[in-house]
Amino acid sequence: MKTLPALFFSLFFISGSYAESGEDYFNEGIEAYDKEEFTEACELFRKACDSGNADGCSNLGVMYKNGQGIKQDYFKAVELYEKACSGGNAKGCFNLGFMYINGYGVKADIEKALNLFGQACEMKEQAGCQAYADLKKNLGQ
């Protein structure tokens, strides 16, 4: 009978120490965003990003770029897109390329944008492939 209380304590301790993962925060952020609860979505995407979730970083970057639920800040958006892109998020790379081609929060840099669109394309982001092809064509390459 001594093992039963020990087992109960172990299960209680494990369930009591549960912490949400970056993916959980991200999914909750999507739900909040879909309900147009933008301030809540920002906070959840921030928690996801801080937990290492690149999708959360990318979505938070979009919210900063658009000023949804938070004051618009292109510099912060660029920082978040960089984090998302380096974390393997294709949309983060594409969005960062968009910022570079337009000079939002960074000095405009066509070559950097081309590189970022190429990275997004390599990660199977169709918009990245299209932007890469269009930019190459416009540059006459």
Q: Give domain status of residue 1, yes or no.
A: no
User: What's the pLDDT score for residue 131?
Assistant: 95
User: How many domains is the chain partitioned into structurally?
Assistant: 1
How far is C-alpha 117 from the chain's CA centre?
A: 16
User: What's the pLDDT score for residue 16?
Assistant: 37
Domain membership of residue 65 as a residue range? 21-138
Q: How far apart are CA 68 and CA 18, in angstroms?
A: 30
Q: Give domain status of residue 3, yes or no.
A: no
The model's pTM: 0.84
CATH number at residue 91: 1.25.40.10
Q: How far apart are CA 98 and CA 37, in angstroms?
A: 26
Say if CB 99 and CB 81 are below 8 A apart.
Answer: yes
Residue 79 has pLDDT above 70, yes or no: yes
Report the chain's mean pLDDT, rounded to a whole number.
88
Q: Give domain status of residue 30, yes or no.
A: yes
Q: How far apart are CA 120 and CA 20, in angstroms?
A: 29
Q: How far apart are CA 31 and CA 90, in angstroms?
A: 21
Q: Give domain status of residue 52, yes or no.
A: yes
